[in-house]
Amino acid sequence: MKHIAIIGNGISGVTAARHIRKLSDHKITLISAETEHFFSRTALMYVYMGHMKPEHIKPYEDHFWAKNRIDLKMGFVSNVDASNKKLLFDSGEEMHFDDLIIASGSKPNKFGWKGQDLDGVQGLYSWQDLELMEENSVNCDRAVIVGGGLIGIEMAEMFLSRGIKVTFLVREKRFWGSVLPKEEGELVSRHILSHHVDLRFETELDEIIPDENGRVKAIRTKDGEEIMCQFVGLTAGVGPNTSFLKDGSVALNRGVLVNDFLETNIPNVYSIGDCAEFHQHPTGRRNMEQVWYTGKMMGETVAQTICGNKTAYKPGVWFNSAKFFDIEYQTYGWVWAEPKENEAILYWEHTDGKKCLKLVYDMTDNSFLAANVFGIRLRHKVLDYWIKHKTKIKVVLQNLEDANFEPEFYENSFPEIKKQFQSQIP
């Protein structure tokens, strides 16, 4: 029986712990400086909005950990002494391990803006960020959010639920422009505007201006405009949380460098989730993917290796999902913001402008590549099958309704979509 220490009790670390327990009797310790129990990070917004209480976003009941003999350790690891297989805590404690999984997640990016460390300026990633946001919301009339991505729009929705006005600075020409193609980006942008968010495209933060107490009182954009605000949300992405690995024995680039087996340069030390960076991603995607689902998959994979069944990380067809205010979004395969040369696009949009479906296929062999969908629910298994098996677009269209995952009695747009798309393919 070996001792497996896991730094980080987010989805990656917890999934690894659960699967190690399923496969073995090893001693498992889950270490966190954030919260005693695992919670769903993606649900933080709902606590702020009053949809749920903190206990509701715990995926497992509190007795789950003891029952599965997963030890929980609250503490901040200040260094990893890899050669002696020891963790050093900032309290001075030490902990021996046989295997170590680094799953320490991310922290919000800060790009050296002037005033980025003022009171009232923060990102949203951790439980502590949420508590801080609660404090910073007191007497807040207007918040400025910097960075048009997933966390930014969540923050906007959170503030609106509290009656706080929002100015949203987006560097690109449309919301999430680095990821969403034009039509989809514009659809979401329209929806954000319909919620009375003061949405500014092609606008960048220049400086955050303090009041006499060191609190934010306004921001200045690069165009020189000053906007009064009591809160600034920094939501321009996240980066790996690896500052505690300071002695340099574990090889880092931006994140903890790992091979296909999620192994670092040091034997028996692994890294998974947001903080892991592949030398080269096994499927050629980006070397860091800060996504719930990939963290979960890495956790499942590393558990196999640690329990003696050496397994390479092999994520299947990419998928992701989000919700932008009232509009749900799912994506399958990889839809590029700008189509590649071989890609043909089929795009349908509902007359209400809140639903759309985009299918991407390869012009050279007519195989189905990817889909973006807004306001309609698609069946993951079906999309995954079509993409994985390079199904011909014609066949996909013929069977399009197999992918319908909409609730019963919903307006069925599939016949219309099918008709439009079939007239557009060769």
Q: What is the DSSP string of 62-115?
A: THHHHHTTEEEEE--EEEEETTTTEEEETTS-EEE-SEEEE---EEE-----BT
Identify which range of 55-63, 85-93, 101-109, 337-345 contacts other proteins by CB under 8 A: 55-63
Does 66 interact with other proteins (rule: CB under 8 A)?
no
Identify which range of 25-33, 83-91, 177-185, 290-298 contacts other proteins by CB under 8 A: 290-298
Identify which range of 98-106, 223-231, 241-249, 357-365 contacts other proteins by CB under 8 A: 223-231
**In whole angstroms, how close is the CB of 18 to other proteins at the nearest point?**
10
Compute the residue count for the chain.
Answer: 426
Among 24, 27, 52, 207, binds other proteins (CB under 8 A): 52
355: helix, strand or coil: coil
Does 162 interact with other proteins (rule: CB under 8 A)?
yes
Structure tokens at 313: 């990380």
Does 90 interact with other proteins (rule: CB under 8 A)?
no
CB atoms within 10 A of CB 47: 19
Structure tokens at 403: 């992918």
Query: Distance between the two ends of the chain, CA-based, in angstroms?
Result: 61
**In whole angstroms, how close is the CB of 208 to other proteins at the nearest point?**
16
d(CA 154, CA 47): 12
Does 86 interact with other proteins (rule: CB under 8 A)?
no
Beta carbons of 87 and 100 less than 8 angstroms apart: yes
Structure tokens at 14: 């917890």
Identify which range of 118-126, 145-153, 179-187, 371-379 contacts other proteins by CB under 8 A: 371-379
CA distances from 45 to 48, 124, 133, 151, 152 (A): 5, 9, 10, 9, 11
**In whole angstroms, how close is the CB of 363 to other proteins at the nearest point?**
26
Gyration radius of the chain's alpha carbons: 23
Identify which range of 176-184, 189-197, 231-239, 362-370 contacts other proteins by CB under 8 A: 189-197
Does 196 interact with other proteins (rule: CB under 8 A)?
yes
Do strands 165-169 and 198-200 pair parallel, antiparallel, or not at all (unpaired)? parallel
Among 75, 210, 239, 315, binds other proteins (CB under 8 A): 315
Does 211 interact with other proteins (rule: CB under 8 A)?
no
- CB nearer to other proteins: pick between 56 and 222: 56
Residues near 59 by beta carbon (within 8 Å), at least 6 away in sequence: 14, 38, 39, 40
d(CA 132, CA 122): 8
Identify which range of 86-94, 240-248, 273-281, 401-409 contacts other proteins by CB under 8 A: 401-409
Q: At 89, which amino acid appears?
A: F
89-124 burial by CB neighbour count: b if 16+ within 10 A, else e? beeeeebebebbbbbbbbbbeeeebebbebbbbbbb
**In whole angstroms, how close is the CB of 405 to other proteins at the nearest point?**
5
Do strands 94-96 and 99-102 pair parallel, antiparallel, or not at all (unpaired)? unpaired
Among 25, 117, 226, 401, binds other proteins (CB under 8 A): 226
Identify which range of 36-44, 81-89, 112-120, 176-184 contacts other proteins by CB under 8 A: 36-44
Q: Among the residues of 115-170, which ranges form H helices?
A: 127-136, 150-161
d(CA 270, CA 100): 6
Does 379 interact with other proteins (rule: CB under 8 A)?
yes
Does 51 interact with other proteins (rule: CB under 8 A)?
yes
Does 323 interact with other proteins (rule: CB under 8 A)?
yes
Task: Work out the angle at residue 214's Cα, subtended by the Cα atoms of residues 208 and 217, and round it to the nearest 5 degrees.
Answer: 45
- x-or-dash string of contact with other proteins, 119-158, rule CB under 8 A: -----------------------x----------------
Among 119, 204, 328, 402, binds other proteins (CB under 8 A): 328
Does 350 interact with other proteins (rule: CB under 8 A)?
no
d(CA 34, CA 31): 9
- CB nearer to other proteins: pick between 279 and 314: 314
Among 85, 296, 355, 358, binds other proteins (CB under 8 A): 296
Contact residues toward other proteins (CB under 8 A) are 11, 40, 42-43, 46, 49-53, 56-59, 61, 142, 160-165, 167, 194-198, 225-228, 292-293, 296-297, 300-301, 304, 311-317, 319, 321-323, 325-326, 328, 330, 377-381, 384, 405-411
